Amino acid sequence: MTTSIFIDISVILGIAIGIAFLVQLLKQPMIISYIITGIICGPVFLNLINSNQEFFDVFANFGVILLLFLVGLSLNIGYLKRIGKVAAITGIGQVIFTSLFGFFILFAIGFDKYPAIFLAISITFSSTIIIMKLLSDKKDLQTVYGRYTVGLMLVQDIIAIVIMIMLPIFQNSDSILATVFVLFVKVFLFLLAVYLLANLILPVILNRAARSGEFLLMFTLAWCFAIAGFGEMAGISLEVGAILAGLALGSSRYQMEISSRVRPIRDFFIALFFIILGSEMYIENFQTIILPGIILSIFVLVGNPLILYLLYRRMKFTRQSSFLAGLTAAQVSEFGFVFLFVAKQFGFIDDNILSIFTVVALITIFVSSYLITYNTQVYDFILPFFRIFGRDKFHSPKEENIVYDVFVFGYHRLGWKICEALKEMNVSFVVVDSDPLATDKLESRGIPYYFGDAMDVEFLSELPINKAKLIISTLPGADSQSTLIKHIRIENEKTLIIANLSHIKFLDDLYGAGADYVMMPHLISGHWMANILKTQNWNKDTFRKLYEEQKEEMRLRFTLGHH
């Protein structure tokens, strides 16, 4: 029996590896290979995974607990505070509108109330793992739409945690108020106990455990499973306990090391979790699940981005930033699987609902991966449609008669410091940015600016850019800068152009487009540090002075414009 288990697992993982090679060739996330592996290894085909093998369900629970533990661990409340208003409005708005429209669609095609509610909620969340991976590969995490997408994911995580906490309420629909009160008391007492442990006992243990990587890992896993177990005993579920266990360690100085050590274990068990979910999709029910799956997939691929696009436009983002941010949400999340998995354990839904969601996941993840990877090309394709409605009302060329010597594209990160230098030199300059928060800072400081996207040629053609002596781009994306540089070169061949890249991959492309120099911050930092080492004394006074200068720089950075 034991030998059979290990042989089954090795065969399952072997099939997963084979499918993963094909999935990688198609530039798809690994989650697709896991689900397909589960379908192949399930009762319909190889029958390596079936309902009689309870140890697979244990593996699935391990995956869920570790996944939610890391969600709690990585919840960056500090980052959320910096972009809180936009992230909160778009995140909450998207969840509300997507779940409402999803519910009415499902209800209209014949679903009962509870299955429609749970399935509608499950499709509201986008995949943090997939989005972060694809945006990171594109080097778009520091773009305007990238930064706000990260904020949106954080808000979705918080909403997901609240929903997980509230899930037991559905079991006692006859006494909702009493159930809410009891649940609130349980969560409050449990949170209080975890908070006291995290602040009084954990720091002492962690300081000791962190001396050994193995000790830290063992203690972290013990903490995670213990709090999850106590959460179940307290009646607030294993899953919520796992999230709270992660939140308790989130503010620890060892948070990053804990995350890096737990993640590989999480990846193994979450792979098995998705394989097991795939195995529960029964092909004999295919005719009953395929039509709802396709309808929901179309809604997620079209409706979700449209909802987010309208919300971002409401927050005065440009068409391009709104479109690119909306496009990132065109897939369902691993949390949707977890949510439905727990709902099934509570008895709210059956296997058919999970099978429908699996169809939606396969379709939307497959399609959205290409949509995110080639998002700028998709936007260029859609642009003629947008132009039917006239010029973007949130592009703001103004003071067209003023001639500026310098144009600075991008105020975030590098741009603000360049602007300070130009101001000290009494050079006439203007900033171009598509982030509403950046333009709020510029306005409060009295710095002239244009609000718009550097990739929008129509917008660029309205700027008095042809008489500028110098163009400085601090934008992080290669595509946007390539478009900008080519446009400037058509207008003026003599203008000096300085661009910016954080990696070497597109360096030749920017020089080929016409850049005179491309800043690479890591090289500039290396030169600066080398100069310090060659010209300054190697003692504590030197680095204390540098530290004070750095602290003053950061104070200026976050106080300019009341930020």
Please provide the DSSP assignment of 69-81 as one string: HHHHHT--HHHHH
Question: What's the mean pLDDT in 138-145?
Answer: 78
Cα gap 216→214, rounded to integer Å: 5
Question: What's the mean pLDDT in 308-323?
Answer: 90
Q: Of 218-222, 298-302, 335-339, where does mean pLDDT reach its minimum?
A: 335-339
Residue 444 has pLDDT above 90, yes or no: no
Looking at residue 420, what DSSP letter applies?
A: H
Q: Of 45-59, 367-381, 400-414, where does mean pLDDT reach its minimum?
A: 45-59
Residue 153 has pLDDT above 60, yes or no: yes
The CA distances from residue 541 to 207, 285, 534, 537, in Å, are 29, 73, 16, 8
pLDDT value at residue 308: 94
Q: At what angle are helices 255-279 and 2-25 packed, to 10 degrees?
A: 100
More confident residue, 101 or 211: 101
Residue 428 has pLDDT above 70, yes or no: yes
Give the DSSP H or E segment for 126.
none
With beta carbons less than 8 A apart as the criterion, state whether 303 and 368 touch: no
User: Under DSSP, is residue 276 helix (H, G, I), strand (E, B) or coil?
Assistant: helix
pLDDT value at residue 119: 94
Please say whether the dihedral angle defined by the alpha carbons of residues 132, 135, 136 and 141, taken in this order, is positive or negative: negative
More confident residue, 94 or 284: 94
Query: Given 3.40.50.720, 3.40.640.10, 3.30.540.10, 3.30.450.40, which CATH number is that of 406-519?
Result: 3.40.50.720
Band (pLDDT 50/70/90 cuts) for residue 562 is very low
Cα gap 311→145, rounded to integer Å: 13
pLDDT value at residue 283: 61
Hey, which of 55-59, 94-98, 456-460 has the most confident mean pLDDT? 94-98
Cα gap 79→102, rounded to integer Å: 30
Band (pLDDT 50/70/90 cuts) for residue 176 is low
pLDDT value at residue 284: 63
Query: Given 3.40.50.720, 1.20.1530.20, 2.60.40.10, 3.40.47.10, which CATH number is that of 2-383?
Result: 1.20.1530.20
Same fold, 2-383 and 406-519: no
Give per-residue pLDDT as tens, 463-502. 888 888 999 998 887 888 888 899 888 878 889 999 998 7
Give per-residue pLDDT as tens, 106-129. 999 989 888 999 999 999 999 887
Tokens of 111: 């679903």
User: Under DSSP, is residue 433 helix (H, G, I), strand (E, B) or coil?
Assistant: strand
pLDDT value at residue 464: 84
Please say whether the dihedral angle defined by the alpha carbons of residues 412, 432, 80 and 74, taken in this order, is positive or negative: negative
With beta carbons less than 8 A apart as the criterion, state whether 56 and 49 touch: yes
Q: Where are the domains of the chain?
A: 2-383, 406-519
pLDDT value at residue 96: 94
More confident residue, 457 or 336: 336
pLDDT value at residue 221: 92
Helical segments of 283-373, H only: 286-298, 304-314, 319-327, 334-346, 351-373
Band (pLDDT 50/70/90 cuts) for residue 350 is confident
In the chain, the percentage of residues whose pLDDT exceeds 70 is 91
354-275-49 Cα angle (round to 5): 95
Hey, which of 249-258, 275-284, 528-537 has the most confident mean pLDDT? 528-537
With beta carbons less than 8 A apart as the criterion, state whether 137 and 147 touch: no
Tokens of 110: 């014949």
Give per-residue pLDDT as tens, 78-112. 666 666 678 888 989 999 999 999 999 999 998 98
Cα gap 476→308, rounded to integer Å: 23
Hey, which of 60-64, 230-234, 529-533 has the most confident mean pLDDT? 529-533
Band (pLDDT 50/70/90 cuts) for residue 310 is very high
pLDDT value at residue 174: 58
Cα-trace Rg, the chain: 26
If one counts every other C-beta atom within 10 angstroms of the C-beta of residue 451, the result is 24
